Chains A and B, each alone.
Chain A
Amino acid sequence: MTTPSGEEREVKFLGGASIDGAPVAYIIVLAAVVTALSFIPFSVVMASGGSFPMAQGVYSLVGWVLGPIAGAVASGIGALIGVFLAPHTAGVAPVTVYGAVVAAFAAGTMVFGKLRSKWWIIAAVIGVGSIAFFFGRALFVNGVSLKAVVLGGASQWVGVLLFCLPTRNIFARWIASKNIGMVALGVFFGTWASFAVSHVAQSAITYYMFNWPEEVWMLLAGLVPVEYVSRCLIGAVIGAGVIAGLRAIGIVKPTYATY
């Protein structure tokens, strides 16, 4: 160890520009990741012909890495640029962006410590409120049977339930675990829960537009769970790999990161 001969100086540590404790540079690159992955279709497992962009598998991860606010900004801007670049790929564009924002925000509020331990309530209100509107409209306006709604919307309501119950904290704890297998498990279920909140938030809007009748609900009962499993599997593979890598590189963690 060298002995410095100069006078020790007081270092004013300023850091760089940040949003809610996450460096702007992190937000930029992750937004760019979301945009880039918006153009990578994930259709290999969707024998049914359905397909969704890989970006959907990382919205939640962005929330865990950057925290709820910065995560929502990164996901939202990433998705927005994807929509601006190729509007025809987005379906209902504002809804796509809204979904990205809600998914990352909801994920970012999944914590197990004292820090921001009540923020999840905001996401829960969005989730439960949307479900009430979405299912309510189906049941009472469009005459869809209870059975169809319960089955067709199973992946969503189970996910929102997992988000509202203390399971949310358990998943967050797993994500922060040192054991990479646990991290993968935490990301799998965490993606399910946070994506479900986002999904019902989007469905509340799109359902108002499309008013799917009973037959479509029954069709969804078969398809949606397959999509959810593959989306969460993608999330878990990417999330566990990324979190292990971030720890190995030793990148400075944003203030409200969950991992």
Chain B
Amino acid sequence: MSEIIAALDKVSYKYPRSSDFVLKNIDLTIRKGEFFGVIGPTGAGKTTLCLTLNGIVPQFYGGRFFGHVHVAGLDTLDHPISLMASHVGAVFDDPETQLIATSVENEIAFALENLLVSREEIMARIPRALAAVRLEGTEKKHPAELSGGQKQRLAIAAALAVQPDLLVLDEPTSQLDPVGAQEVFATVRELNKELGMTIVMASHAAEEMAEYSDRVALLSHGELAALGGPDEIYSQIERLLQNDLRPPEVASTFYLIQKKGGPIPKIPVWMGEGVETLKKVQKTCEITPPRENWTARTYGGEPLLSLKDLKHVYPDGTEALHGVSLEIREGEYVLIIGQNGAGKSTLVKHFLNLLKPTSGSVKVGGVETSQMTVSDLARRIGYVAQNPDNQIFNATVGEEVAFALKGLGYAAEEVESRTAESLAAMGLSEAREMHPLSLPKGDRARVVIAAILAMKPEIIIFDEPTTGQDYRGAKYILEISRQLHQMGKTVIVITHHLYLMPEYAERVLVMGKGTLLMDAPIREAYHAVKLLQSTFLMPPQAVLLTQELEKLKGQPLPKLLTPDELAGCFRCNHSGRIP
């Protein structure tokens, strides 16, 4: 057994203003060179646990603390945070707030300067830290000139430069696009494998955590609900779901096959293992796809939104869209995917008249948008931006919903009836007199949606509603999108989380570098694996397994999307358990 780097002994903690303990009797040890994962739903205590490791909890927050935390042999309560900071490097979720300097080199130097490291030593460490995260040559750049993934890698480099014993990362990929997330995971993994850096990482990215972690701690309501290898933790599908955690799709798939009697002694939790297991299982099971109608629903009528040869060049000369044409009809549910910078937002902003085409045409309901004002369009198209807090202007939920209606000049009774109706539809009637910001984040998003619904738009656009949300939060908003779709609204969702969408979306637009790479029903789009990967989008594991299975069996399968669908094809009656 290798050396222990961090040990928590009967740790309980309560913030000064929290009513209950946020950590409850936690016992665990972290060993040198380990990749230690921390998972759990929002509010389970992951961040607090991370912050106990450098003494910020409790020395910065105060509150009541029980038990002991030792990191690198130091008790985190007996040593100042500044000393602990030289042993523990920390990386947080928001790329913007954790970079505090005006240039890349200053960012790396900042903690070192505070720790009184000499100038010569700092200058020697900067290139090493940048090389470790592959950011060489960016020394003089302002953080705002970096992409999201680069910003997070810079934060990692800055944490590494103090030469810590332990690197703690709290949801470092939750705000990133898939390319950025992949960059960060690759970097962290390399640090762990090549340099032997001990990693503690809290994350919702189930697939990656299952693959990279050595051990995983599952927190639930501040308690350590389970601790073990990823194969142990991620194969307990029911426990994960009970805790509002999303299992890796590989694990879900084989769990379901196992339930149907498939001969699976051990549920695989990452793709490589999954493929191996699949090879064995398919030999003993019969594969018969259920007789369902796999063809996509089609919509008739005049297009509600239409783009023709849309080009957009920003004033600085960046060509953001190069001739995009498409039509969206009433009642569709459309998913738009692509990396940051692929042109998704630029595209959507044309529907709303926030951007004007450089050339080409944009029509809403058959009318050129150039002949409509933003406020005309706002009544037809509701736009829910990513951060609900940027869209909350008023001091009560009721006023927020009525805000636009008053501005649009509706009569008082109309304002009142629409407000009440909209609040009821979003389940917010009780919260009417409350301040929106006193509600939890998911509810704040509902306030914004209620305010938009009050204008009775035909089309609703959700721009990255799932970024920074845990599984439950993401599902919650997507369920709202489903309700709206069922009410007959046209729904457009932009998201990076492909695996969340099969239950909801019908049609997918794949954007890349300002062009529409593909416009197809979701099954076809998700199975265009090469195309998706070419733009760094990761198809869900169920899709990859389906294709793997096709290859193994040499028989064509329908374009399956989810673990349920895939497991549904397996007939493993030889075991006798379930025919």
A residues lining the B interface (CB < 8 Å): 1-2, 4-16, 180, 240-241, 244-245, 247-250
Check A11–B64 contact: CB distance below 8 A.
yes
| CB contact between A4 and one of B10, B61, B77, B80 (< 8 Å): that residue | B10
Check B435–A5 contact: CB distance below 8 A.
no
**Chain A residues, CB < 8 A from B65:** 8-9, 11
Give Cα distance in the complex from A240 to B63, angstroms: 31
Known: A8-B66, A248-B435, A249-B438. A1 touches B21 (CB 8 A): yes
**Chain A residues, CB < 8 A from B64:** 8, 11
B48-102 with Cβ < 8 A to chain A: 58-68, 77, 80-81
| CB contact between A11 and one of B20, B62, B80, B394 (< 8 Å): that residue | B62
Q: Does B395 contact A (CB under 8 A)?
A: yes
Q: Does B281 contact A (CB under 8 A)?
A: no
Q: Does B24 contact A (CB under 8 A)?
A: yes
Give Cα distance in the complex from A180 to B395, angstroms: 9
Give Cα distance in the complex from A240 to B395, angstroms: 9
Q: Does B12 contact A (CB under 8 A)?
A: yes
Check B435–A4 contact: CB distance below 8 A.
no
Q: Does B25 contact A (CB under 8 A)?
A: yes
Check B17–A250 contact: CB distance below 8 A.
yes
A247 to chain B, nearest CB (A): 8
B557 to chain A, nearest CB (A): 50
Check A2–B10 contact: CB distance below 8 A.
no
**Chain B residues, CB < 8 A from A244:** 395, 435
A7-B10, A9-B65 provided; 18 other pairs, C-beta below 8 A? A2-B12, A2-B25, A4-B21, A4-B25, A5-B12, A5-B66, A6-B10, A6-B67, A7-B67, A9-B67, A11-B63, A14-B59, A14-B60, A16-B60, A240-B395, A241-B394, A241-B395, A249-B437
**Chain A residues, CB < 8 A from B62:** 11, 13, 15
Known: A9-B77, A11-B59, A15-B60. A4 touches B66 (CB 8 A): yes
Known: A12-B59, A13-B58, A248-B437. A2 touches B20 (CB 8 A): yes
Give Cα distance in the complex from A14 to B63, angstroms: 11
**Chain A residues, CB < 8 A from B20:** 1-2
Check A245–B12 contact: CB distance below 8 A.
no
Known: A244-B395, A245-B435, A248-B437. A7 touches B77 (CB 8 A): no
Q: Does B492 contact A (CB under 8 A)?
A: no
Check A4–B395 contact: CB distance below 8 A.
no
Check A245–B437 contact: CB distance below 8 A.
yes
Give Cα distance in the complex from A244 to B20, angstroms: 26
Give Cα distance in the complex from A178 to B435, angstroms: 13
Known: A2-B25, A4-B24. A241 touches B393 (CB 8 A): yes
**Chain B residues, CB < 8 A from A249:** 437-438
**Chain A residues, CB < 8 A from B330:** none
Q: Which range contains the number of B residues in contact with the other chain?
A: 20 to 34
A236 to chain B, nearest CB (A): 13
Give Cα distance in the complex from A245 to B397, angstroms: 12
A-B interface, 8 closest residue pairs, ranked by CB to CB distance from nearest: A6-B67, A6-B10, A4-B12, A248-B435, A13-B62, A4-B66, A6-B66, A248-B438
A53 to chain B, nearest CB (A): 20
Give Cα distance in the complex from A27 to B126, angstroms: 29
Give Cα distance in the complex from A5 to B81, angstroms: 25
- B67, closest chain A residue (CB): A6
Give Cα distance in the complex from A247 to B63, angstroms: 21
Give Cα distance in the complex from A255 to B81, angstroms: 23
Q: Does B11 contact A (CB under 8 A)?
A: yes
Q: Does B9 contact A (CB under 8 A)?
A: yes
**Chain A residues, CB < 8 A from B67:** 4-7, 9
**Chain A residues, CB < 8 A from B60:** 14-16
Check A14–B81 contact: CB distance below 8 A.
yes
Give Cα distance in the complex from A250 to B25, angstroms: 28
| CB contact between A9 and one of B21, B66, B435 (< 8 Å): that residue | B66
Give Cα distance in the complex from A23 to B394, angstroms: 26
- B61, closest chain A residue (CB): A13
Give Cα distance in the complex from A249 to B68, angstroms: 31
**Chain B residues, CB < 8 A from A14:** 59-60, 80-81
Check A6–B437 contact: CB distance below 8 A.
no
Known: A12-B77, A14-B81. A245 touches B10 (CB 8 A): no
Give Cα distance in the complex from A7 to B69, angstroms: 12
**Chain B residues, CB < 8 A from A5:** 10, 12, 25, 66-67
Enumerate 21 A-B pairs (CB-CB under 8 Å) in ascending A order: A2-B24, A4-B25, A5-B12, A6-B25, A6-B68, A8-B64, A8-B65, A9-B58, A9-B66, A11-B77, A15-B60, A15-B62, A180-B395, A240-B395, A241-B395, A244-B435, A245-B395, A245-B435, A245-B437, A248-B435, A250-B438
- A240, closest chain B residue (CB): B395
Give Cα distance in the complex from A249 to B435, angstroms: 9
Per-residue interface assignment for chain B, residues 389 to 412, with 1 indicating a CB less than 8 Å from any chain A CB and 0 otherwise = 000011100000000000000000
- A2, closest chain B residue (CB): B24
B211-227 with Cβ < 8 A to chain A: 222
A175 to chain B, nearest CB (A): 15
Known: A2-B25, A4-B67. A13 touches B59 (CB 8 A): yes
